[in-house]
């Protein structure tokens, strides 16, 4: 079991995007040939911190040209670099999807798609900028690995893991500051899910910012006499089938929570697994076939029924089934 944040650490809030630039600089200091290619958002994505750390020659700003950004990163990867791209998720995956598919994935290039500002955490920027389909898009690409870290420490670990993993990797990061879940020095593995809380009555599988909501829901369920097991499936692809199956075999039912559309993301991955190997009642907490909406992050969590209260209700429903 991975080491979780202490109560003191859990009071600290940081955005997962804040890990991007500092981690790239740490990797460069360690001798990893990382480069960052950005689409005129180096401040927002924090890739500018790579240049600020003395590696200005490793940061390439392509301007507002996300498709070109992917192709530049592909070219840099062919010269021995570990190329990370940065943009908002809606642009870095949606606008550049063809280049990611046909240039990066088709040739299995060592490019890491690592956009920030994914999901509803974009907040007031509204539905045009709140990317809720990115995991679905990236998960469907042959050879693409998909990582959705829960907090700042997990984002640092995911970025380091991406750098050490040959070939295409997608790392999803957000804008909003969120509480710490993990210890500062946590290390994560590709294809591993982590049981953060053991339980016997229901399995809650989550990723990203929904991990904190899942843990809060599990705590609230104690008063209902329900023992919930909470699993962080930060590695959405490849999914840790063994951990999920073992938990559902024990509890008999599962709720999947993600800050993403209920179509094509983690919920779909878990449902596909259970349909093949262990059919069981499932409920899904996510955005239901609609675009986002302008508002503050915490307001939107409640509005879209992505908060702990929504997970508790989903648990009651799935247990009744």
User: Could you report the per-residue pLDDT of 246-282, keeping only the tens digit for each?
Assistant: 999 999 999 999 999 999 999 999 999 999 999 999 9
Q: How confident is the model at residue 9 (pLDDT cuts 50, 70, 90)?
A: confident
> Mean pLDDT over residues 25-50, rounded?
97
How far apart are the C-alpha atoms of 39 and 48, rounded to whole Å? 12
Residue ranges with strand state E in the chain: 13-15, 34-38, 59-61, 82-86, 111-113, 145-147, 169-171, 177-179, 194-197, 202-206, 228-232, 235-237, 254-261, 282-287
According to the model, what pLDDT value does residue 7 have?
A: 86
SS3 category, 53 = helix
Q: Which domains are seen in the chain, by residue range?
A: 12-179 (3.40.50.970), 194-320 (3.40.50.920)
**Residue given tokens 């995991």 in the structure block:** 135
User: Could you report the per-residue pLDDT of 119-148, keeping only the tens digit for each?
Assistant: 999 999 999 999 999 999 999 999 999 999
According to the model, what pLDDT value does residue 217 have?
A: 98
Catalytic residue, chosen from 66, 133, 213, 229, is 66
* pTM over 0.85, yes/no: yes
Give yes or no for residue 11 having a pLDDT over 90: no
Catalytic annotation present for 66: yes
SS3 category, 45 = helix
């Amino acid at each position: 079991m991975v080491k979780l944040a202490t109560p003191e650490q859990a009071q600290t809030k940081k955005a997962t995007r804040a890990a991007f630039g500092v981690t790239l600089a740490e990797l460069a200091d360690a001798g990893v040939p990382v480069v960052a290619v950005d689409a005129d958002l180096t401040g927002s994505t924090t890739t500018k911190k790579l240049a600020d750390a003395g590696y200005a020659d490793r940061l390439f700003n392509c301007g507002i040209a996300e498709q070109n950004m992917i192709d530049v990163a592909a070219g840099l990867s062919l010269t021995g670099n570990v190329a990370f791209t940065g943009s908002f998720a809606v642009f870095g995956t949606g606008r550049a999807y063809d280049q990611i598919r046909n240039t990066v994935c088709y040739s299995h290039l060592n490019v890491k798609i690592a956009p920030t500002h994914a999901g509803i955490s974009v907040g007031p920027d509204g539905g045009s900028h709140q990317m809720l389909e990115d995991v679905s898009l990236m998960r469907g690409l042959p050879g693409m690995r998909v990582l959705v870290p829960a907090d700042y420490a997990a984002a640092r670990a995911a970025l380091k893991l991406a750098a050490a993993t040959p070939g295409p990797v997608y790392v999803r990061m957000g804008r909003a500051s969120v509480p710490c879940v993990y210890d500062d020095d946590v290390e994560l593995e590709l294809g591993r899910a982590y049981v953060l809380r053991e339980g016997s009555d229901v399995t809650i599988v989550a990723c990203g910012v929904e991990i904190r909501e899942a843990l809060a829901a599990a705590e609230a369920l104690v008063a209902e006499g329900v023992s919930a097991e909470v699993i962080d499936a930060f590695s959405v692809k490849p999914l840790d089938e063994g951990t999920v199956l073992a938990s559902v075999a024990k509890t008999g039912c599962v709720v999947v929570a993600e800050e993403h559309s209920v179509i094509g993301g983690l919920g779909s991955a878990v449902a596909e697994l259970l349909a093949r190997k262990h059919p069981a009642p499932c409920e899904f907490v996510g955005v239901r076939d609609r675009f986002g909406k302008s508002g503050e992050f915490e307001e939107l969590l409640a509005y879209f029924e992505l908060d702990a209260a929504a997970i508790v209700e989903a648990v009651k429903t799935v247990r009744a089934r």
